[in-house]
Structure 1
């Protein structure tokens, strides 16, 4: 025989259930209010999307390196002259003004990308990885796959050139002509007598094949005697010397990092 619950007991259970429902409604209402209060608050994302970078026109890697340029000089009378010519107006610049214009580019290297091209941002990363410059640098894209990399510190440029072959910037360089005309290379003079490892002799031998830059440390210290080694700037459009003659003795010249030199025509880069 089952006993029916008393009305008092039933009312007690009902009261508890109603209280629970009421509490749940209050909690749900509070949570909904909290959700609605945060729903309209914008959350800023500090990371810019690739689309945003493109829309802005610049990415993080495109920001200019910290660099303080020299002040522009006052243009004197005669520095810039415009006159009439048969084919139209002609502008002429004074030698002093051209010298000032060229001065900031003396610490620049010309880079030619051969084969698959890389992006402007990727080039910066490559430069930092391969050359490891200590000071700020800038890269400028030109026609025909050329870039100019300009260094703030001339020491960085010299480190790059001596690890060449790279072309130092010259006032005659024109990207539209599409040719590497000069390069910095290490040159070996094979079989030079050890007693001739003298600064003036080695500088003179270097000047016989190009513009002398420096002597290799091992050559300076005479701890390597198979060849004397110097760094020079060579003109690749001119005949390259395959031999040099010193005091009646002939020594073979080996150019590091550039193709085989043809001893018939003196030029590089052909069969």
Structure 2
């Protein structure tokens, strides 16, 4: 999983503009120049960009190289330039990986179920991957974020595991061991309620996704609420230090957190690390 927040497209050289500009007549007023990244963000018709609209063949051909290091009968080696990958990755910036836990589901059945649950107003596209993983792509960013942070979701009587898409995700090798979860930072001073401050603070807990609108609108001051993608295989943090003061952290929808080891999935009395009796006396459990 990438350490950077969300799936933002990497910045590129601002001089890289739409290739249609170079052949424009001198007396024809130019359109507003756009970088290739801006073309991705702007999208295509209906908000669904396509590769042919984002990158022309000449641009790609100049940045994709084929070599035969051991001669033409040897293994071909292809190198795709970073400029091409950055734009292509941007096509999937509103995409998530899902799996129905313990179930083999067809793409048609899953698509019907997800449309029934999420009722998307914009486009939603389901693509199947190996090992019962699926990619879900949204046209509307708000719907993508709403679904990503709106769980836990139940489909076909089982949990729907979710993960933000990353170009590093390999369905043949990887597992979904992370989940988006809303965290509460108790008694955070209101002068910390700046979105960039809160997102930076939340990086100490995982990969932050968004700040709750009630927090940004100062509607709740007992705690700030931030959605963070956390790794359930690592201990969840119960406190965080900010400017020398310690603040408590709690997690919505994750009741099975062990107070002994901090891992999700069991309680103190079932902790495989042992010493539950000593921990029980200290916590009153």
Q: Secondary structure at the match of 1:233?
A: strand
Residue 226 of structure 2 aligns to a residue in which SS? strand
Measured after TM superposition, the shift of residue 73 of structure 1 is: 2.6
User: Offset of 1:110 from its aligned partner?
Assistant: 0.5
Q: 1-side partners of 2:233 and 2:77: how far apart?
A: 30
Does structure 2 retain, via aligned residues, the 8 Å contact 1:183–1:235?
Answer: yes
TM-score (norm 2): 0.62
Residue range with higher mean Cα deviation, 207-216 or 260-269: 260-269
1:195 CA drift (Å): 5.5
CA-to-aligned-CA distance 1:146-165 (integer Å, 9 cap, x gap): 10011122222111112136
CA 1:227–1:100 in 2, change beyond 3 Å: closer, same or farther?
same
1:221 aligns with 2:202: no
User: Is 2:102 aligned against 1:115?
Assistant: yes
Which aligned runs of 4 or more in structure 1 are off by greater than 6 angstroms? none
| Deviations, residues 230-250 of structure 1 (Å, cap 9, x unaligned) | 122334565543321112221
Given that residues 182 and 252 in structure 2 are in contact (C-alpha distance below 8 angstroms), is that contact kept between their aligned partners in structure 1?
yes
Residue number in structure 1 paired with 2:56: 73
Between the two structures, name the one with larger relative contact order (CA 8 Å, sep ≥ 6). 2
Mapped contact 1:144–1:178 kept (Cα < 8 A): no
CA 1:204–1:97 in structure 2 vs 1: closer, same or farther (change >3 Å)? Answer: closer
State the partner residue of 2:172: 176
Q: Is the 8 A contact 1:242 1:261 kept in 2?
A: no
Contact 1:110–1:167 (Cα < 8 Å) also in 2 = yes
Q: SS of the residue aligned with 2:219? A: coil
Structure with the largest fraction of helix:
1
TM-score of the aligned structures, taking structure 1 as reference length: 0.64
Which one of the candidate residues 67, 88, 91 is aligned to 1:82? 67
From the CA coordinates, give the structure whose radius of gyration is larger.
Answer: 1
**Mapped partners of 1:73, 1:96: distance in 2:** 13
- Mapping for residues 1-271 of structure 1, pairs under 5 Å: 69-71=50-52, 72-74=55-57, 75-84=60-69, 88-164=75-151, 166-194=162-190, 196-236=192-232, 240-258=236-254, 260-262=256-258, 267-269=263-265, 271=271
Structure 2 unmatched ranges of 5 or more: 1-45, 153-161, 272-285
Q: How many residues align?
A: 207
Change (3 A) 1:261 1:68: same
- Cα distance per residue 1:219-266 (max 9 Å; x no partner): 233333332211223345655433211122212222333464456655
Distance 1:66 1:119, change over 3 A: farther
- Indicate the RMSD between aligned Cα atoms, in angstroms: 3.1
> Take 2:87 and 2:256, find their aligned partners in 1: how far apart are those partners?
38
Whole-Å separation in 2 of the counterparts to 1:266 and 1:79: 46
